[in-house]
Amino acid sequence: MTHPPKIEREKNGRIECTVEFTKEQAVAAEEKALQSLAEKVKIPGFRPGKAPRDTILQKINPDDLMEETIHRLLPETLESLVKEQNIRTIISPKVSLRKRDPLTISVVFVERPNVTLKGVDKIKIAKKETKVEEKDIDRMAEFILRKHEIATEVDRPAQEKDRITMDFWGADSDGKEITPIRTQNHAVVLGSKSLIPGFEEALLGTKKGEEKSFTLTFPKEYHAAELADKPVTFHVTVTKIEEVKMPELTDAFAKEHLHAESSAAFRGELQKSMVLQEERLDRDRREQELMEAIRKATVVNLPKELVEEEERGILADMEEQLKRQGKSLQDWMQATKKKPEELKKELEDRATQRLSLRLGIRELLEEKKIEISDEEIATTVQGMLAPLSEQERKEVEGAYAKGGQAYDQLKWQKRVEKLFETLLAA
């Protein structure tokens, strides 16, 4: 480097280093870059990389050559900057070209920004009283008993609470079939309100083998945006009508089907299970409120590079989730009528919130000196290994070796759990 790098440190952890290379450094790196790119260029009459230099230069994009040249200079440059400036970066450095002659680049590092916590000691998230009433137990018992209900096919018009099996398809206002709607052997209990409003009511009084058509408008908030608030004419063929009877909760039924000594014992176990579920839900609620309180108590000036890095991570997760559903980001944006600038703003807001929370939690972990021993991690890993096969155990043990990414993630998770226990117990 011709001159010592120009270093600009900001209070938010952003460090911009401007580096100017000597002509000798730039030329040497460019030659190596040219040799590398030449191997990928096909020039008639010459083997890869063996054509004259001027001929190769005519075939290579100058921007590609500059990018490869900088790439050749980076390893030593980054190592030198990190060591000499004692930089502890938390994301990959961002490199950009400042000037071609003399070759000058900008390298932006991001260290953990300073965090201030305001009012965090005043955070109190109260428990809700866990209360399960008899009517709640009745409702849950009915839900379980319905899994044991007996259905008998009947030859009469369909009534409320009957189960109807049907084939149906739908057409739009022009009479054109809406392909995704076509369904066969679909069963529904009349009165269950599991279909759109008006559908089940239209089936009352129908008989087996009957064909019926009716027009309904999908709700405005329907989950499939392409059908929301749209009129559709349904063509239904009833294939089966069944009368459904729910068994009574007797001592004999409890013993035979519900693994309980009596109906009272079953209701008692049900109550315990429901209380535990309510406690888990309340714990989840308290954790969510605690995280929101920590986020709001966190005062931090986030570098734009850090926010952009988080945005890219959120977007990548989003695209992966859509891919598993057989959709693309473009499909989703069209279905939700989301504009690019709206998505960008949402990503920025989510990234800012996630970073504020994460940095606030890290600050609290250090303030309260929350640590997890290697023994505690080992115990957790052993618990994870218990139900696995021998081969799976070897793979998991290797992944959770001390110093590895999975080990560090688990340690972070256990530290956060311990922190939440401390804060929620206060």
Rounded Cα distance between 26 and 407, Å, is: 42
**pLDDT higher than threshold 80 for residue 305:** yes
- What are the start and end residues of each CATH 3.30.70.1050 domain in the chain? 6-111
Compute the 3-state secondary structure of the chain and give helix, strand, coil in percent, each to the nearest 5.
Answer: 50, 20, 30
Residue whose pair of structure tokens reads 């007996």 in the numeric block: 150
Q: Find the mean pLDDT for residues 77-103.
A: 95
Residue whose pair of structure tokens reads 């052993």 in the numeric block: 382
* Residue 49 binned pLDDT confidence (cut-offs 50, 70, 90): low
**pLDDT higher than threshold 80 for residue 350:** yes
**Which residues have C-beta within 8 Å of that of residue 41, sequence separation ≥ 6?**
48, 51, 56, 59, 60
- What are the start and end residues of each CATH 3.10.50.40 domain in the chain? 150-245
What's the confidence (pLDDT) of residue 393? 86
**pLDDT higher than threshold 60 for residue 1:** no
Q: Find the mean pLDDT for residues 277-289.
A: 96
Q: Is 87 helix (H, G, I), strand (E, B) or coil?
A: coil
Other CB atoms within 10 A of residue 120 CB: 18
Rounded Cα distance between 111 and 12, Å, is: 8
**pLDDT higher than threshold 60 for residue 392:** yes
Rounded Cα distance between 282 and 164, Å, is: 38
- The string of pLDDT tens digits covering residues 406-417 is 999 999 999 999
115 in Cβ contact with 306 (< 8 Å)? no
Rounded Cα distance between 21 and 10, Å, is: 24
Thinking of the domain 150-245, which architecture would CATH place it in? Roll (3.10)
Across 52-114, where does the E strand assignment appear? Answer: 94-99, 104-110
Query: Of 19, 128, 38, 35, which Cα lies nearest the Cα of 82?
Result: 19
Please give the mean pLDDT across all residues of the chain.
93
Peptide linkage before 102 cis (omega within 30 of 0): yes
What's the confidence (pLDDT) of residue 45? 67
Give the type of residue at 319: E
Secondary structure (DSSP) of 349-395: HHHHHHHHHHHHHHHHHHHTT----HHHHHHHHHHHHTTS-HHHHHH
What's the confidence (pLDDT) of residue 54? 75
Please state, in angstroms and as integers, the Cα–Cα distance from residue 145 to each residue in 159, 238, 278, following that order.
Answer: 21, 27, 21
Query: In 392-412, which positions are buried (b, 16+ CB within 10 angstroms) versus exposed (e)?
Result: ebeeeeeebeeeeeebeebbe
Q: Find the mean pLDDT for residues 153-175.
A: 96
Rounded Cα distance between 73 and 65, Å, is: 13
Rounded Cα distance between 57 and 40, Å, is: 13
Query: What is the rounded radius of gyration, in angstroms, for the C-alpha atoms of the chain?
Result: 33
Other CB atoms within 10 A of residue 308 CB: 15
Give the β-pairing of 298-300 and 163-171. unpaired
**In the beta sheet, which residues pair with residue 422?**
none
Structure tokens that stand for 377 in this block: 């991690």
What's the confidence (pLDDT) of residue 20? 96
**pLDDT higher than threshold 90 for residue 360:** yes
**pLDDT higher than threshold 60 for residue 284:** yes
What's the confidence (pLDDT) of residue 55? 75
Dihedral angle, C-alpha 415, 417, 419, 422, nearest 10 °: -140
Name the strand (E) or helix (H) holding 318.
helix 304-324
Between 131 and 353, where is the model more confident? Answer: 353
What's the confidence (pLDDT) of residue 396? 83
Sign of CA dihedral 213, 214, 215, 218: negative
The highest-level CATH class for domain 6-111 is alpha beta
**pLDDT higher than threshold 80 for residue 167:** yes
What's the confidence (pLDDT) of residue 39? 80
**pLDDT higher than threshold 60 for residue 419:** yes
* Residue 10 binned pLDDT confidence (cut-offs 50, 70, 90): very high
